[in-house]
Amino acid sequence: MYQSLQAFKREIKINAKEYIRFLHGLPNRKSKGIASTIYSLHQEAYKKIDCGQCANCCKVMRPTYNRADIDRIAKHVGMTSQEYCDKYLGQDPTRDIMNRKSPCHFLDKNNRCTIYEIRPLSCRRFPNTQRKDFISCKSLNSLNVQYCPITYHVVKNLKRKLDDEG
């Protein structure tokens, strides 16, 4: 599928607008047919793409945290929750709490997450291609498709299938 992360980046640079338009044009209503196609594409993507070779989400995106994430991770690194927030976290315009900087401070040189077992819930759920309500997460998917080869695989092949069906 993608020879490298660089190949994905070249492809998405050309096609991003087309796929974002496609995602926003999907019907909001759940359809059993589309949901099962998306789930099959999600499983196929994980067979073709190795997150350990990629780690692009941890390099260029910033994970959000809920209160339990902050408390758990702060304790793990020997800080109070307030100290951890002051050192590493900030708020985006929608008031989500997230890493202030990227790459993530927990990503090591070998693309491994050094707090994998206790990583934030948003990291555990990423890239959300397994979600039953995938087609209604338009803004989220429009962002993820630009950085995540797994999301790209799902969106690209979903579009191809729906185009083929006319």
Residues that bind ligand SF4 (CB under 6 A): 49, 51, 54-58, 63, 104, 106-107, 113, 115, 119-120, 123, 126-127, 147-150
Bridge partners (DSSP) listed for residue 64: 98
Q: Which is nearer to ligand SF4, 51 or 137 (CB)?
A: 51
Which residue's CB is nearer to ligand SF4, number 106 or number 164?
106
**Distance (Å, rounded) from C-alpha 75 to C-alpha 106?**
15
Give 137's contacts (C-beta < 8 A, 6+ positions apart).
128, 131
Find tokens 């997230």 and name the residue: 98
Asked whether 54 and 149 are in contact (CB, 8 A), the reply is: yes
Question: Given the complex with ligand SF4, which of 3 and 28 has the nearer CB atom?
Answer: 3
Report in angstroms how near the CB of residue 166 gets to ligand SF4 at its nearest. 30
Minimum CB separation from ligand SF4 for residue 40, in Å? Answer: 17
Of 33 and 60, the one with the shorter C-beta distance to ligand SF4 is 60
Cα angle, residue 10 at apex, residues 42 and 26 outer, rounded to 5°? 45
